[in-house]
Amino acid sequence: MQIKKGSTRIVILLGNYAYKFTRIRLLRTAVWALYRLAFRDQRELFRSKFGKNIFVGLCKHLFIGVQQNRTEYAYYQETRDCRVMPTHRILFGGILIIQTRGVAINRKTLIQNCPFEDTITGNPDLDLHQAKQYCLCQDGKVRAVDYGKRNTVVALRKTLETPKTRPLE
Ligand SMILES: Nc1ncnc2c1ncn2[C@@H]1O[C@H](COP(=O)(O)OP(=O)(O)OP(=O)(O)O)[C@@H](O)[C@H]1O
Ligand SMILES: [Mg+2]
């Protein structure tokens, strides 16, 4: 068994599966909130991202791992995108998801086998620019394991291959 720590999830690698648990980020949220409240431009940024209600904003930040788990599950179940690691199950409303376990890769392997175009990997906001966000899947493909951000799945959807339409007879 191996345990990996991300900023929003704790991942337990066991057998053929990765069990991704939400982290509850109390300290990080407290520091984050103080920083946001101290500076006017940061307050504006906060409002544009989370709306006017600071309590809702704090809860979203605190449980952002739940949202990322839900997004990964929903995206994979809907699209079956073969560029991302399959997410099979969601439990406890998103506190836990179960993904196929992959093998970590280095930057060189990623560059040689990256499933995405530069428009995706070149955008640091999408979380798909580092080797740690990918793994080698059991089918031999390099796939993204960290695709839970909302803007990430928006970008992935835009680059999904559209099914070929049947030629007219
Ligand atoms: N399906 C998987 N198979 C193997 N390892 C995985 C899998 N999913 C995640 N990991 C490992 O766990 C680490 C953390 O997972 P993940 O990136 O999904 O969490 P995160 O909280 O979003 O991390 P980050 O802070 O990088 O955004 C990954 O960098 C990777 O090493
Ligand atoms: Mg992440």
Q: How many CB atoms lie within 10 A of CB 134?
A: 28
Categorize the per-residue pLDDT at 31 as very low, low, confident or very high, splitting at 50, 70 and 90.
confident
**CA 131 to centroid of ligand 1, rounded, Å:** 10
166 CA to middle of ligand 2, Å?
A: 38
28 lines ligand 1 (CB under 6 A): no
User: What dotted CATH number matches 2-23+64-158?
Assistant: 1.10.510.10
pLDDT tens-place string over residues 129-147: 999 999 999 999 999 999 9
Domain ranges of the chain: 2-23+64-158, 26-62
Write out the two tokens for 32. Answer: 């984050």
pLDDT at 162: 57
pLDDT recorded at residue 110: 94
Summarised one tens digit per residue, pLDDT across range 75-114 is 999 999 999 999 999 999 999 999 999 999 999 999 999 9
- CA-CA-CA-CA dihedral for 7, 80, 83, 117, to nearest 10: -100
Contact present, 56 and 50 (Cβ < 8 Å): yes
Mean of the pLDDT values across residues 37-52? 75
* Neighbour count for residue 130 (Cβ, 10 Å): 12
**167 CA distance to ligand 1 middle (Å):** 42
